[in-house]
Amino acid sequence: MEADAPILLFDSGVGGLTVLAELRKLLPEAPVIYAADLAGLPYGEKTEAEIAARVAGLLGRMSERFKPRLITIACNTASTIALGMVREVLHVPIVGTVPAIKPAAAMTRTGAIGLLGTAATVRQKYVDDLEREFAQGNRLIRFAGPGLVEAAEAKLRGEAPDPALFASTAAGLRGQPGGEDIDTVVLACTHFPLVEEELRAALGGGVQFVDGAQGIARRIAYLTQGEAFLRKSPDVALVTGSLAEAAPLAAALKRYGLERLESL
């Protein structure tokens, strides 16, 4: 393993930056390639077949080109749909992102847990299985907040998100049976911690949020234990689609240590 072999973090957009932020705390020296499939965003509105094809195709191409030591699919939608399949075809350790239902079940006092994800994530059997395994005795109230992914993307481009969007998200959770008792919300999309402040304001201060970013960072650190890291050049963000359209993200990407923005 070369010390400059990168960790590849993949998402449909800027959501994976929430994972990168946690990874930086544990492995500040690790060279990172951050890849965003902006041309495919939002994954949450696509079919399972489309998502699986895009993720497998892009990760296959990038693992040949960059020889990463490890790949992280920093996206709940892509992971819940394509993780198993990608693991079978790529010979690189792959860390996925799983909705944090288990920790939420340990945190809730009322037994009412909200789950905010994309439309594609909330309908997955993967989520049904997590609910059955870890949320027994609790009520899991799912909602696919339309527009939240775009709001998080816009926020990182420097635009102010519309408060009405967060109010309708809160209503989408609270309006379901048992929704008024929700005290814990799983942010089951890596984009959503980027708008946690806005969601908190809409849902009320008593609600606690939980996401998978810290757990993923710990898993990456565990799997790369004892490996040497050397960053030979500044970390890079790669995007599909138009580089000009991605350019307004450059300042936010720099804040996460991604000094260069290039086409994938």
Binding site for ligand DGL (CB under 6 A): 11-13, 15, 41-44, 75-77, 118, 121, 149, 189-191
Residues with Cβ within 8 Å of residue 61, at least 6 apart in sequence: none
User: At a CB cut-off of 8 Å and minimum separation 6, what does 214 contact?
Assistant: 22
Assess whether 75 carries a catalytic annotation.
yes
User: Rounded to the nearest whole angstrom, what is the least distance from the CB of residue 226 to ligand DGL in the complex?
Assistant: 30
**Is residue 81 among the annotated active site residues?**
no
Amino acid residing at 127: V
For the bound state, the minimum distance from the C-beta of residue 165 to ligand DGL, rounded and expressed in Å, comes to: 15
Query: Which CB atom, from 37 or from 183, has the smaller least distance to ligand DGL?
Result: 37
Q: Which is nearer to ligand DGL, 42 or 68 (CB)?
A: 42
**Of 189, 203, 217, 253, which one is the catalytic site residue?**
189
138: tokens are 């609790």
Q: Which is nearer to ligand DGL, 5 or 34 (CB)?
A: 34
Looking only at Cα atoms, what is the longest distance across the chain? 54
Q: Which CB, 5 or 114, lies closer to ligand DGL?
A: 114
Helix (H, G, I), strand (E, B) or coil at 165: helix
Helical pair 196-203 and 163-174, crossing angle rounded to 10 deg: 60
Closest CB 5 distance from ligand DGL, rounded Å: 25
CB of 44 to ligand DGL, least distance (A): 3
Task: Report the b/e string of 90-123 with b at 16+ CB within 10 A.
Answer: beebbbbbbbbbbbbbeebeebbbbbbbbbbbbe
Choosing from 75, 151, 217, 252, the catalytic residue is: 75
Active-site positions read: 75, 189
